[in-house]
Structure 1
Amino acid sequence: MDFFHWAYKIFRNLHFSRMTANYGNLAVNLVLIAVAAFLIDLIARRILVLTMGVAAKRTKTSFDDFMVANKVPQYLAHLVPIIVIYNAVPKALEGFTYWDYIFDKSITTVGILLGLWIVRSMFHSLRDYLKEQPDYNDKPIDSYIQVVMIVLWIFAITTIILILFNTKITVLLSTFGAISAIVILIFKDTILGFVASIQVTVNDIVRIGDWITIEKFGADGDVIEINLATVKVRNFDMTTTTVPTYSLISDSFKNWRGMQNSGGRRIKRHILIKASSVKFIGDTEIEELKKIQLLTLYLEQREADIDKFNRHTGADKSLPINGRNLTNLGVFRKYINSYIERHPGVNNEMSIMCRHLQPTEKGIPIEIYMFTKDKRWINHEFIMADIFDHIIASVGYFDLEIFELPSSGKDISGL
C-alpha cells in the first residue's frame, strides 16, 4: 500500500509539473504573439497613414483627404495584427481545446466589429465628400448613412449572437418575434425617426440649407443637419434648435424655400385709417391733388369720366353723394399703387395690390401687398421700411388720419 501511495504521488506531481510547464509555455507564447501583434499594428498604422496621407495630398479629389480625416487608414491597419493573431494563436493553443474554442469565437467577433467600424468610417468619408458637391449638399446624407448603418448593425449583432451561442437563425428570429413588442417600445423614437426620415427624403419636404419656421419648438432659421432622429436648425440669433425628425411630418411648419426660389419676397402689411377722415373731395381738393405728379394724369382722366357720367345721368351735384365722386381714400389708394409700381426695390412682375380689409373698431385697414426684388432679410426689411415711411408721411396730403390709441393725457384731452 505504501508503494502504490508513493507511486501515485509521484505520478500526480509529474502530471501537475507537466501541466504547469504547458501553461507556462502557453503564457510565454501568448505574450510573444501579443507583443508581435502590437509592433505589427504600430508599423502597419505608420505605413498606411503615411502612404494615404501622401497620396491624398497629390490627388485632385478630396475623398481620400476625408478618408484620412475619418481614420480609415488606422482602422484598416488593425486588420494586419488580427490576421497575425488569428493564424498564430491556434498553434499556441494546441492541446487546449477549451481555450481554442473561446479564442475562435472572440477573434471572429472582434473581426466583425472592426469590419463594421471600417465601413462606418468609409461612409463618414463619403458623407463629408458628398456634402461638398453642389448636387448633394442639400440632401440628408446623414439619414441615408444612419439607415444603412442600422441595417448593418442588426446583421452584425445577429451574426455575433449566432456565433457565440451556436444558435440557429430560425430560433433567433422566433425569439426576436416574441420580444418584438418590447423592442418596438424601447426603440419607438428611432423607428419613428426612421420612417420620418424616409418620408422627408422621398417627398423632398426639407433640405439642408432650407429656412424653416416651427413655432412649437421655437425654431426659425436654416437647417444645418438632418439625421435619423433629429433636425438641427441654426436660428437667426445664432442659437441652435434640435427638432425631432418625426415632427416634420406630424406637426405643421413653414418652409421658406419657395420664397427663396421665387422672384421676390412678399410684403403684406396694413395701416389703419380713421373712418371719420374719409370723405368725398370736390374740385378744389382735386386741383390741389393734381400737383402730386403720380396722380396728375389719373385725376384728369377720372375727372373727365365722372363729369361725363354725371351729365349723362343728370345727377344733382348740389349734394356730393349724388352721382359719381372721388374720395380722398380712393385717391390715396391709387397713389400708393402708383408709388409702389415705380419703386426700384419692388418686383413689378409679381402681384402688387392696395386693398380694403374689413373695417374694425380701430379703423379701416388698408393693406399693401407686394414683393421685393431683394429676398435677403435685412435688405427686404429696409425696402419695406422705406415704402411705409413714405406712405405714412403721405397720409396727411389726402386729409386722412391714421388711427392709433391714445397714449397720454394730451391725446385724450384732444379727443
Structure 2
Amino acid sequence: MNELLENWLLDQGIANQYIDMSVTVVALLMIISVAFFSYYIVKYQVLNVVHKLIVKTNNTWDDALIDNHVLTRFTLLIPFIIILFLTPIFFPSDFLIANLLIIFSKIFLTFQIARSISAVLNMSKILYGETAKQKYLPLNAIVQVFKLAVYLVSIIIIIALILDRSPVYLLSGLGALTAVLILVFQDTIKGLVASIQISANRMVVAGDWIELPKYGADGDVIEIGLNTVKVQNFDKTITTVPTYALISDSFKNWRNMYHTGARRIKRTLIIDISSIDFYSLEKIDFLASTSLLKTYLTDKKQSLEDENKALDQDGRLNDIDSRQLTNIGTFRAYIEMYLHQNTNIRNDLTCMVRQLPATESGLPLELYCFANSTDWKVYEGIQADVFDHLFAIAPHFDLRIFQNPTGHDWKNALNNNT
C-alpha cells in the first residue's frame, strides 16, 4: 500500500525528500477519514433505520436498547476497529506511528467495550424490574458489582497496553494488595453482603414503605444500591441510607399492610371521669329506641333484672348493692356496634374498644380496628369520619370528652361569677 501511495505522490509532483512524510500524513488521514466515515454511516444511517424498526415493533424490551444507549455505545466501537484493521495495511509493523495508533485504538476500544457492557447491564436491570413479579433479587447491587469488576479489568488491560506487559503479570501483583483493596472497598463489600442478606430474607424491595427514625427516613424505597438505599419521604425529599444499615439497625416495613389491604386505626377518646355515672330506667328506655343499641340494651336490661332478683333475697336491695348500667359501658358497646356496621371497617380483622389505665386527664377509650383501604387519603378520611361521629354522639350518653381549659372556658367562668 505504501508503494502505491509513493507512486501516486510522485505522479502529483511531490519531491523525493518529502515522500516519506507525505506518505505518512496521507495514510494517517485516510485511516482517520475511513474510521470516522464508517462511524457516521453506522450512527446516522444504519442506526436511524434500526431505531425506526424498534419503534414500530410491539415489543417493549427492544425499546430499552434505545433508552439505555446500548446501540449508540456499540457504534463507537466501529472507528477503533477500523483503525486496528487499516493500520497494519498502511504502515509497517515497526513504524512508530503504527504502534501509537494501535495502542491508542486498543485503549479506547477497551474502554468503550466496558461502557457497552455497562449499558447492557443497565438494560438488563430495567427489563428485570419491569417483568419480574417478585423483585427480591438485589439486581441493582449485582449490576454495580459487575460494573466495578468490568471497569477494574478494563483499567488493568489499559495499563498493560501502555506498559506493554501482559495483563496476567499485573493481576498476579494484586494478591499483595488484597489488604489495601479490602480497606478501600470495605463499604462496597459490606453493601454487597447486606444486599445478599436483604434479598435472602426478603426484607426490603423497591416500592416498600419503610421507617428508619435514626436516619430520618420515612417513605418509599426507590432504589437499593450497592452502598446506599434511596428513600423518598412523603414530603418528596430523598434520604440516602447505607445499605448495611438495613441489617445492622432496626426498621419498620409496611409491606404486609398493603398485602392485607387494610390499615390499622389505633386512637383514643379521653373521657372526663366526673361524667361517668349510672343510667336511670328512663335513659335506658330512651337509648333502647336506637337501632344499634336496641338488642344490646334489651338483653342487658333483662340480664341485670335477673341478677338483681337473685341478689335481692330479703327484698331490701339498694342502689349500691344492685347491678346497674353505666354510661361508659353503654358508650363502649355503642362504639363496637357502630364499627361493626361501618362498611369502611374490616370486620374480619381485630375490631375492639378497650379501656386503658386512667390518667390525670381522664379515662382513655381506645379504638383498635382496621380501615378497608391502605390509601393514605382515604384512610385518614375514614378515621376522621369515625371520630367526628363519636365526638358528636358522646353527649347523648351523658359523657364529656376531656380537653384542657381554653380561653373560652375561662371567659365563661368569669362571666358566670359576675
Alignment TM-score > 0.5, same fold: yes
C-alpha contact (below 8 Å) 2:81/2:105 kept by paired residues: no
Q: 1:312 Cα shift?
A: 1.9
Distance in 2 between the 1:317 and 1:118 partners? 98
Q: 2:10 matched to which residue of 1?
A: none
Q: Contact between 1:139 and 1:208, CA under 8 Å: does it hold in 2?
A: no
Matching of residues 322-333 of structure 1 within 5 Å: 322-333=321-332
Alpha-carbon distance change, 275 to 174 in structure 1, aligned in 2, over 3 angstroms: farther
Deviation, structure 1 residue 277: 1.9
Aligned to 1:378: 377
CA distance in 1, matches of 2:249, 2:294: 52
Query: 1:290 & 1:78 partners in 2: Cα distance?
Result: 85
Q: RMSD over aligned Cα, in angstroms?
A: 2.9
Q: Note if contact 2:345-2:372 (Cα within 8 Å) is conserved in structure 1.
A: yes
User: 1:15-164, aligned counterparts within 5 Å?
Assistant: 22-94=20-92, 96=94, 100-133=98-131, 135=133, 141-164=139-162
- State how far apart, in whole Å, the 1-side matches of 2:55 and 2:93 are: 51
The amino acid that maps onto 1:32 is M
Whether contact under 8 Å (2:136, 2:199) holds in the other structure is no
Question: Closer, same or farther in 2 for the Cα pair 1:411/1:124, shift >3 Å?
Answer: farther
Partners of 1:147 and 1:320 lie apart in 2 by 79
Structure 1 position 276 matched with structure 2 position 277: no
Distance in 2, matches of 1:19 and 1:412, equals 117
1:4 corresponding residue in structure 2 = none
Query: Distance between the aligned counterparts of 1:410 and 1:90, measured in 2?
Result: 101
Deviates more, 1:367-376 or 1:167-176: 167-176
Aligned equivalent of 1:312, options 289, 294, 310: 310
Q: TM-score, with normalisation over the residues of structure 2? A: 0.85
Greater alpha carbon shift after TM alignment, 77-86 vs 23-32: 23-32
Is the alpha carbon distance of 1:97 and 1:321 closer, same or farther for their aligned partners in structure 2, counting shifts above 3 Å?
Answer: farther
Measured against aligned partners, the alpha-carbon deviations of 1:108-137 in whole angstroms (never above 9, x if no partner) come to 332222211112222223333333336267
Pair 317,299 (structure 1): closer, same or farther in 2 beyond 3 Å: farther
State how far apart, in whole Å, the 1-side matches of 2:289 and 2:119 are.
74
Establish whether residue 257 from structure 1 lines up as the match of residue 245 from structure 2: no
Q: Which amino acid aligns with 1:372?
A: A
Paired position in structure 2 for 1:218: 216
Aligned amino acid, residue 196 of structure 2: I
* Equivalent residue letter for 1:179: L
CA contact (8 A) 1:231 1:243 kept: yes
Cα pair 2:210 2:219 within 8 Å, conserved: yes
Q: Which residue of 2 aligns with 1:296?
A: 294
The letter for the 2-side match of 1:359 is: A
Deviation at 1:370, TM superposition (A): 0.7
Task: Name structure 1 gaps, 5 residues minimum.
Answer: 1-16
Q: Say whether the 8 Å CA contact 1:294–1:339 is kept in structure 2.
A: yes
Please, which moves more after superposition, 326-335 or 292-301?
292-301
Contact 1:197 1:245 (C-alpha < 8 Å) held by counterparts: yes
Partner SS for 1:320: coil
1:27 shift after superposition: 3.4
Q: What's the counterpart of residue 390 of structure 2?
A: 391
2-structure distance, mates of 1:376, 1:47 = 50
| Residue in structure 2 matched with residue 410 of structure 1 by the alignment | 411
CA contact (8 A) 2:136 2:202 kept: no
Does 134-143 or 150-159 show the bigger shift?
A: 134-143
Return the alpha-carbon distance in structure 2 between the equivalents of residues 277 and 178 of structure 1.
81
Q: Indicate conservation of the 8 Å contact 1:336/1:354, yes or no.
A: yes
Letter in 1 for 2:358: P
Q: Structure 1 residues 181-190 or 373-382, which shifts more?
A: 181-190
CA distance in 1, matches of 2:389, 2:165: 81
In the TM superposition, 1:344-363 aligns within 5 A as 344-363=343-362
Structure 2 distance, partners of 1:65, 1:268, is: 47
Amino acid in structure 2 at the alignment position of 1:83: I
Aligned-residue sequence identity (percent) comes to 35
1:174 Cα deviation after fit = 5.8
Where structure 2 has 5 or more consecutive residues not aligned to the other structure, the ranges are 1-14
